[in-house]
Amino acid sequence: MRHLHYILLAMLLLGFTNIPISAQAPSAPTFQVYLPVIVRLTNANNLELTTATYLGGTGADSANAIDIANNGLIVMGGSLTGFSPTGATLVTLPGAGSGAVVRLSSDGRTALSITRIGNSVADLGLTSDDRIGVCGDFGVALLNADASATIWSAAIGAASRCAIGSDGTIAVLVSKTVSIYASDGSLIRSLTIADNPLDLTIDTAGSQVIVVGWRQITSTLQMPFIRAYGFDGTQRWTSYDYAAGTPNIGSADTRAEQIALGRDGKLYVSFSINGGTGVSVLARDPKNAALSAADRTVVTDKYTNPFNIGSVKMAWLGRFNLSNGQLEQGQSLLTRLTSNDRGNSISIRAIAADEQGRVVIAGDTACCIMDRDTRQVAFTTVGGYEIGEAYVLTLSADFRARTAWTVFTAPGTSAGSSPANGVALRGGKVAMAATLNQGTGATRGLITFKALQPTLGSATASDGYLAVWTGP
């Protein structure tokens, strides 16, 4: 939903209205001046875009990660086979294949450069001076701000996630190993993380890396963890991560899947729950399972109140203290079947938060987000439902208002199995990266608007997708 904005100088009318203004001059007749009033009406269900575009060639393409630079330029990473828009500077690094770092104008409508690196960029981020940290099948690298050259690189195996500190320090996850590199490329520390690490972030001011994941504590229960490690390798704190047999930890499999360090200095972590929050460890305090977390859990409506659910994969978002991992605020998130209002699945694949603590999340969803079929993107009503369609949701800092929640499916199509993989929030602007996957026999599409590439690069292979708007 977007806030309903009104410019009302006299009355709410569509178009122009003449308003008389009377004045009286000494010894002069009364006169009237008629001024036009321009009234701008917006749809509360509409997400107004700066741009939405496909990014891809004739091969299989993906858009996996995104960030916004100090000057507003958009930096996106993925695998873009044959994508070479007119006017963009092409840089090919040694050994590069289809992996790409794309720099776009601040409105997202112009590709400034494409840097080929490896076969796929899995993750990226920016330093305080906009150097670009990237990771993927090639390992990890730090590029200069215009992505024209490599400052340093390390071929450490295929990396799934990486986090870039403001000073250029990079933490990268390869399987179960976290490696921490200084801004000059020297290795600070390597850590082996037990169990199943899924994501990480870096706090250079506190000289720590925070890792999230899950572990199988019994044959029937999965337990999430958030673990902070100093650059010296010592574990500083842990949240949740309870041992088998601990009272009050619930019976629902729960995993910590994504983590981000917000621009407000807080940790944001997303979880998946196979079942409801009430039977998950997330109903309890992350430091003491004897304590309830109800006093820090925000419930606003049936999409944040997990009732009438079965064995579905719902989501949960938490804000945590960076220094000790204590929960400050949390919220459940689920969808609802239109037939019987039963709870349904949704996943969070990316998180970002601004200096005020406003949050944007993105991922893929089953039926159905709130008011799904009346949602509009760039004043275009979204198309038909299919499981696994990309969505974005933005939240106020207190988690009590959703300022946007929409899917991007084009009219006359569906867009299943096509997740949003990356999201960025900076300076009042949101950018989202997604991958449209064409299934066998499916006609899938996403809404485009003032697009760099308005049509699919391939009717049968996957395409990258970018959307940019003013937010949150």
**What is the Cα–Cα distance from 237 to 44, expressed in whole angstroms?**
43
pLDDT of residue 22: 36
pLDDT of residue 54: 97
For residue 442, the 8-state DSSP code is -
Cis-peptide into 368, omega within 30 deg: yes
pLDDT of residue 471: 84
- What is the C-alpha end-to-end distance of the chain, expressed in Å? 10
Q: Which residues of the chain have pLDDT under 50?
A: 1-42
**Is residue 146 classed as helix, strand or coil in its secondary structure?**
coil
pLDDT of residue 442: 74
8 A C-beta contact, residue 118 and residue 136? yes
For the beta sheet containing 132-136, the strands, ordered from the edge strand earlier in sequence to the opposite edge, are 121-126, 132-136, 139-143, 150-154
**Could you tell me the residue ranges of all domains in the chain?**
1-42, 46-470
**What is the Cα–Cα distance from 323 to 313, expressed in whole angstroms?**
30
The fold of 46-470 is Methylamine Dehydrogenase; Chain H (2.130.10)
Task: Count the Cβ atoms, other than its own, within 10 Å of residue 5.
Answer: 10
CB neighbours of 373 closer than 8 A, spacing ≥ 6? 381, 382, 385
pLDDT of residue 44: 67
Cis-peptide into 472, omega within 30 deg: yes
CB neighbours of 265 closer than 8 A, spacing ≥ 6? 322
**What is the Cα–Cα distance from 177 to 161, expressed in whole angstroms?**
11
Task: Count the Cβ atoms, other than its own, within 10 Å of residue 403.
Answer: 16
